[in-house]
Amino acid sequence: MGFSLPLGFFFFGATVLWETVAACGYQSCPATKPDMLNVHLIPHTHDDVGWLKTVDQYFFGVRNDIQHAGVQYILDSVIPQLLADPSKRFIYVEVVFFARWWRLQTEDMRQAVRQLVAEGRLEFVNGGWCMNDEASVHYSAVIDQMSLGLQFLKETFGECGRPRVAWHIDPFGHSREQASLFAQMGYDGFFVGRIDYQDKAQREVLREMEQLWRASGSLNPPAADLFTGVLPNGYNPPMSLCWDQICSDNPIVDDDSDENNVKNIVAYFLGTAAAQAKHYRTNHIVMTMGSDFQYENALLWYKNMDKLIKHVNAQQLSGSRVNVLYSTPSCYLWELNKANLSWSVKYDDFFPYADGPHQFWTGYFTSRPALKRYERLSNNFLQVCNQLEVLAGARANLGPYGDANSSRLREAVGVAQHHDAVSGTAKQHVTNDYAKQLSAGWDACQTVISNALASISGNKENFMYCTYLNISVCPLTEASETFMVVVYNPLARAVGWNIRLPVNGTHYSVLAPGGQSVLNEVIPVSGFTQAVRRDRGGAINELVFQASVPPLGYTTYSVSRLHKKDPVRTRLLKRLQRQHETEQRSIQNEHLRVIFDSSTGLLKEIQNLDKSISLPVSQNFFWYNASTGDMENHQASGAYIFRPNNSEPFPIAKGAQAYHVKTQVVEEVYQNFSDWCSQVVRLYAGQPYVELEWTVGPIPIQDGLGKEIISRFETNLQTAGLFYTDSNGREILERRRDYRATWNLTQTEPVAGNYYPVNSRIYIKDKKVQLTVLTDRSQGGSSLFDGSLELMVHRRLLHDDERGVGEPLLEPGDYYNGLVVRGRHLILLDTTESSAQQHRLLAQQEFMAPQLVLAPGGGPPYLPGQDNLKQFSALHLALPSNVHLLTLAQWEPDSVLIRLEHQFERGESVNGSMPATVNLLSLFSSFNITSVQEMNLAANQKWEEMKRLIWQPAKGAAVWPSSDRSLDPTHIELQPMEIRTFLTHIQYQPKPGRGF
Ligand SMILES: *[C@@H]1O[C@H](CO)[C@@H](O)[C@H](O)[C@H]1NC(C)=O
Ligand SMILES: [Zn+2]
């Protein structure tokens, strides 16, 4: 650290060829027979990062009464098998388990494993902390969890630990963004296990099981091109050939015995291989020899595969043209690449996934909505923690509040991305454990953030965190006469942010850092909120004001309760508490007016006053009656599967009882639909969106019916069957009702078969007007008739859907009477032309929202010259509004990881979609950057060394000339949707940062 380099350091001309590094990778692949059908046996285990058991229970083999599974024994058992025979191969996937195992090994064992990895006998594939879900994850957390796992492999095994192949054999459908991210992480190919049954049947016939996936509409090919193969049998072995101790298929008996079955098994195997080869294009096929938590006793598998290989290959002497071998996904991929074919190109995604006519896996898009929100919020908090760890340096980790770092939260958020975690498909006790691990991560990051704030501001306060603000619980603000509110903004542009704090007083003074008083209002805590929080808090009012926060920094507000008697204010509050009927039927701010129906109390119309747009919009909550199975098909709705028993949902109520609150900072309509469903419609002063804060639950089930709750918007927009959903929070995909881009769909479920993942937004539009709904977590959504859109917000079900979790989705909630969920939908009404500009910025503000840190007392006075005390920005200048500071994090061993992202798609916004340029060296005021190395997206390979396999697209697909990119850190160009990743060294300024 702390060296300075000549300018020339930044320009890398030389290219290092990975081939020369070691005998791992494609060089270590087994020999194949070009004139035969080569069957690649892939010994593998699929180790869920929590599902029926917790991560720790799976690792150690605890609770084998639930499921026999112990990951430690798998690695213990496989390694000696590999050491004993150089021809044997094994792949390992989930780094959270491997890293755990590695820490417990002796140096001798580690050395032996390093050797296996160096020779390609033990190969890592995928290599993320977990195998993440694709339907309910946000790209920010996916990049982080992949980087975390890959970083471990890089540190531990160097270049030979770098996976060449992405491997998502179990996630329930595949997003296009995931493929794009994998391509940008340098993967050569991708294998998946689950695609729609109709899609698969057609691909088998057309031999399109393997394709080139062009996974971005903005990035120039081949940047987001990813060779993608659909595995023949999910991730399981062919029928009757499962030789794990948990299987009951016969072993191969080749001794002199009545049980000798060699002839039969060889004949069966040859038949199976020939049938499979018909669906694939080359003389190479794969068989996945393993499954969930297999290889705890690896000898059984290997001994039988040894015999299989021996007896099948022995047939070659009598003319068989089939050659079986131990292999890995990358060695199979290598053969496909060498085949030098041109591959058809896929542009859409693999959603929704159905494994039968009434079996759409679209329920998990919404399942466990509270965990889905907690995961998103935790990633938000992690980014803040990461940033402050960099901005304060070592003093964030060792400080007055204790020793802590961000890794606990980073690992917990990584685990939460698993395809049974954030997806909502784990058992309840496992879900509780995910939340518990996240919570422990929050504790550590709170210490980090307190240390960092004390260090940056030079002022140690008794920092506190109120994590129940969404239900108006915060003991400090409720009880204190004076307190400080530190608002930290993780975005690299200034934001205005509405603060709502539970209080007991009726009058407050809020002072900005310079001593100016800030407009604020006091509003009674609603009955809805009191019903949710129950005995957890007693505040009677909420203090509301708008904070304005500089880029990558904070502003501190001082709040004091005033004891003056203000008859007007007191009367207003009294009236607000009573007011259940309102004479006024609309709310309004500078930009928008929202009109309600006077007889039903429902939303009726939204007007954009700036653009003179009026759109009739009605909104209401409905419930689908969950199927319990019927005559046609026994499939019930469950944690994975959404299957309503009728296409028509029932309104929870025909109308809402409403009352109205009008203040200078916010205007609201409180709508009560039933004793378990309510909503607040809000317009904050100056904000260009309508906020709908919905509260749903406990969903009643006394009538014996499972219920799936939606919020539905109806308009008169002519949408011609089209609607739009985001892919993991980034690019937007066009959806068409009852249609799939790649095959001729036979629609069997008119509702569930039209549901898609909504990670951050869904919209409908006509030529002029667009209605966009932003979500605060992942949900399922659709547009089931023209002009409408709907989002599923909550579900409570009485039956298991028989996909393994073995529990109905009956979340108990804090009081064991059913889960209550509260969330927000942000509505934008704008011209179709300028909507992207709005929803991109607003969605960014949602997933990287400002964080509040509180402290009792008035805090230090504002002192000119001591700028950081109350206000701080770590930037010299805000980033252009189309550029996002995606990552600012400490990175091992002594680097800082920085990602800059162009957050617009090509052509979606006149201004936003323009290329952007950033001077990285003059961006930060808190530190100097002394060296810069551009990396691939996962930061595990130098950018200039990323040489992916080249795949030829079939005729018709556009090809771009490859562009050479040199790195000039003073002039970093970003094209639409481009993310650039930099590993830097930094040197702190004598006085960190500056006041803003
Ligand atoms: C706030 O006021 C409510 C209602 O009077 C009361 O129950 C609660 O204890 C008060 N909270 C504090 C901290 O004084
Ligand atoms: Zn799995």
| Domain boundaries along the sequence of the chain | 1-30+871-952+964-996, 36-127+163-350, 367-567+849-854, 580-847
* Nearest protein CA to atom 14 of ligand 1, as residue: 479
- 533 CA → ligand 1 middle, Å: 14
For the record, the structure tokens of 317 come out as: 């002497």
Mutate to test the pocket of ligand 1, among 540, 541, 573 (most ligand atoms within 8 A of CB): 540
Phi then psi for 8, rounded to 5 degrees? -60, -20
8 A C-beta contact, residue 438 and residue 374: yes
SS3 state of residue 946 = coil
Tell me the residue ranges of DSSP E strands in 203-329. 210-214, 225-230, 232-235, 284-289, 322-326
How many CA within 13 A on the CB side of residue 223?
Answer: 21
Phi then psi for 165, rounded to 5 degrees? -125, 135
Q: How far apart are CA 530 and CA 471, in angstroms?
A: 8
For the record, the structure tokens of 154 come out as: 């890089």
Of the listed ligands, the closest to the CA of 171 is 2
Tell me the β-bridge partners of 288.
42
Q: How far apart are CA 798 and CA 609, in angstroms?
A: 46
Residue 540 Cβ < 6 Å to ligand 1: yes
Q: Which residue in 238, 230, 392, 400 sits closest to 305, CA to CA?
A: 238
Mutate to test the pocket of ligand 1, among 474, 504, 561 (most ligand atoms within 8 A of CB): 504
Mutate to test the pocket of ligand 1, among 478, 522, 542 (most ligand atoms within 8 A of CB): 478
Residue 538 Cβ < 6 Å to ligand 1: yes
The secondary structure of residue 249, as a DSSP letter, is P
- 464 CA → ligand 1 middle, Å: 20
- 204 CA → ligand 2 middle, Å: 24
**Identical topology for domains 1-30+871-952+964-996 and 367-567+849-854:** yes
With left for phi above 0 and alpha for psi between -120 and 50, is residue 810 left, alpha or beta? beta
- 510 CA → ligand 1 middle, Å: 21
CATH topology of domain 580-847: Beta-galactosidase; Chain A, domain 5 (2.70.98)
**Is the link from the previous residue into 893 a cis peptide, with omega within 30 of 0?**
yes
Residue 530 Cβ < 6 Å to ligand 1: no
DSSP string across 449-487: HHHHHHHHHT-----B--TBGGGTB-HHHHH-SEEEEEE
Q: Specify the CATH number for 36-127+163-350; select among 3.20.110.10, 3.30.470.10, 2.40.10.410, 3.10.20.740.
A: 3.20.110.10
* Nearest protein CA to atom 13 of ligand 1, as residue: 479
pLDDT along the chain (996 residues), means of 10: 36 38 85 98 98 98 98 98 97 98 98 97 98 98 98 97 98 98 98 98 98 97 97 98 97 97 98 98 98 98 98 97 98 97 97 98 98 98 98 95 97 98 98 98 98 94 96 97 97 97 97 94 96 95 98 97 72 55 78 96 97 98 97 96 97 95 96 98 97 98 98 98 98 98 97 98 98 98 98 98 97 95 98 96 97 91 74 96 97 93 97 96 96 97 95 84 78 97 92 45
- 535 CA → ligand 1 middle, Å: 11
Of the listed ligands, the closest to the CA of 132 is 2
Ligand 1, residue 504: give the atom nearest the CA.
1
SS3 state of residue 195 = coil
Of the listed ligands, the closest to the CA of 291 is 2
Q: Distances in Å between the alpha carbon of 948 and those of 225, 265, 365, 926?
A: 10, 39, 33, 37
Of the listed ligands, the closest to the CA of 131 is 2
Cα 184 from chain centroid (whole Å): 17
Q: How far apart are CA 682 and CA 113, in angstroms?
A: 59
Q: How far apart are CA 484 and CA 474, in angstroms?
A: 13
Residue 583's pLDDT is what? 53
Of the listed ligands, the closest to the CA of 479 is 1
Q: What angle do CA 609, 614, 615 make, to 5 degrees?
A: 135
Residue type, 443: D
* Nearest protein CA to atom 9 of ligand 1, as residue: 538
Q: What is the dihedral of CA 878, 938, 951, 975, to 10 degrees?
A: 0
Of the listed ligands, the closest to the CA of 193 is 2
Q: How many CB atoms lie under 10 A from the CB of residue 651?
A: 13
* Nearest protein CA to atom 5 of ligand 1, as residue: 540
Residue 479 Cβ < 6 Å to ligand 1: yes
Q: Distances in Å between the alpha carbon of 386 and those of 23, 379, 444?
A: 36, 10, 12
Residue 629 Cβ < 6 Å to ligand 1: no
DSSP string across 782-805: E--STTEEEEEEEEE-SS--SSS-
Tell me the β-bridge partners of 450.
none
- 478 CA → ligand 1 middle, Å: 8
Evaluate whether the domain defined by 1-30+871-952+964-996 bears CATH number 2.60.40.1360: yes
For the record, the structure tokens of 630 come out as: 């019927």
Q: Which residue in 798, 823, 825 sits closest to 811, CA to CA?
A: 798
Which residues have a Cβ under 8 Å from the Cβ of 248 and sit 6 or more positions away?
none
8 A C-beta contact, residue 507 and residue 566: yes
Ligand 1, residue 478: give the atom nearest the CA.
13
- 356 CA → ligand 2 middle, Å: 19
Ligand 1, residue 479: give the atom nearest the CA.
13
Residue 428 Cβ < 6 Å to ligand 1: no
For the record, the structure tokens of 14 come out as: 């030389």
* Nearest protein CA to atom 7 of ligand 1, as residue: 538
Q: Is 225 designated active site?
A: no
- 134 CA → ligand 2 middle, Å: 12
Residue 830 Cβ < 6 Å to ligand 1: no
Ligand 1, residue 475: give the atom nearest the CA.
13
Ligand 1, residue 538: give the atom nearest the CA.
8
* Nearest protein CA to atom 6 of ligand 1, as residue: 538
For the record, the structure tokens of 972 come out as: 């970093």
**Is the link from the previous residue into 222 a cis peptide, with omega within 30 of 0?**
yes
Tell me the β-bridge partners of 482.
560
Q: Which of 170, 188, 292, 726 is catalytic?
A: 170
CATH class in words for 367-567+849-854: mainly beta
Q: How far apart are CA 307 and CA 326, in angstroms?
A: 12
- 794 CA → ligand 2 middle, Å: 24
- 154 CA → ligand 2 middle, Å: 24
* Nearest protein CA to atom 8 of ligand 1, as residue: 538
Residue 253 Cβ < 6 Å to ligand 1: no
For the record, the structure tokens of 551 come out as: 């880029």
Q: Which residue in 224, 375, 220 sits closest to 727, CA to CA?
A: 224
For the record, the structure tokens of 275 come out as: 């049938």
Q: Which residue in 807, 769, 774, 813 sits closest to 794, CA to CA?
A: 813
- 806 CA → ligand 2 middle, Å: 14
Q: How far apart are CA 546 and CA 557, in angstroms?
A: 11
* Nearest protein CA to atom 12 of ligand 1, as residue: 479
Residue 478 Cβ < 6 Å to ligand 1: yes
Ligand 1, residue 539: give the atom nearest the CA.
1
- 418 CA → ligand 2 middle, Å: 8
Of the listed ligands, the closest to the CA of 472 is 1
